[in-house]
Amino acid sequence: MINIADLIGRILISALFLLNGIFKINNYDGTIGWMESFGMPGILLIPAIILEVLGPILIIVGYQTRIAAALLSLFCVATAIIFHNDFTDQMQFTSFLKNIALAGGFLILFTNGAKGLSLDNKFKK
């Protein structure tokens, strides 16, 4: 049961990033404009897309889970600080806290790794 719960948890925490990565690909120019409105260079969109698509896939299949989780945790903290720092706006404050909470979830994955239903576990044997 723990293995199934772990897999479901990995899917749930990863879904947001995978879908957002795909959205960024489909709305590439709009996303660059949004990022640049915060003073971020648009060229950073490419590594963001790679991380938001590849990281969740790695976590879902449980391959290099700890590395992917560590990178996504750092990404969550960075995006919270850069893009959601207007605490006078309730939605931005909520988005900030959501990103910090997700960073915490990824830190748990970083600490514990994936359980039985993972490629990490299969290759460990």
Instruction: Match 């976590």 to its residue by tokens.
Output: 59
pLDDT in tens, 86-115: 999 999 999 999 999 999 999 999 999 999
The amino acid that residue 64 corresponds to is Q
Compute the distance between CA of residue 79 and CA of residue 96 in angstroms, rounded to an integer. 8
CB 87 within 8 A of CB 93: yes
Compute the distance between CA of residue 73 and CA of residue 19 in angstroms, rounded to an integer. 17
Read off the pLDDT band of 124 (50, 70, 90).
Answer: confident
Whole-number percent of the chain with pLDDT over 90: 96
Q: pTM for this one?
A: 0.94
Residue 125 has pLDDT above 90, yes or no: no
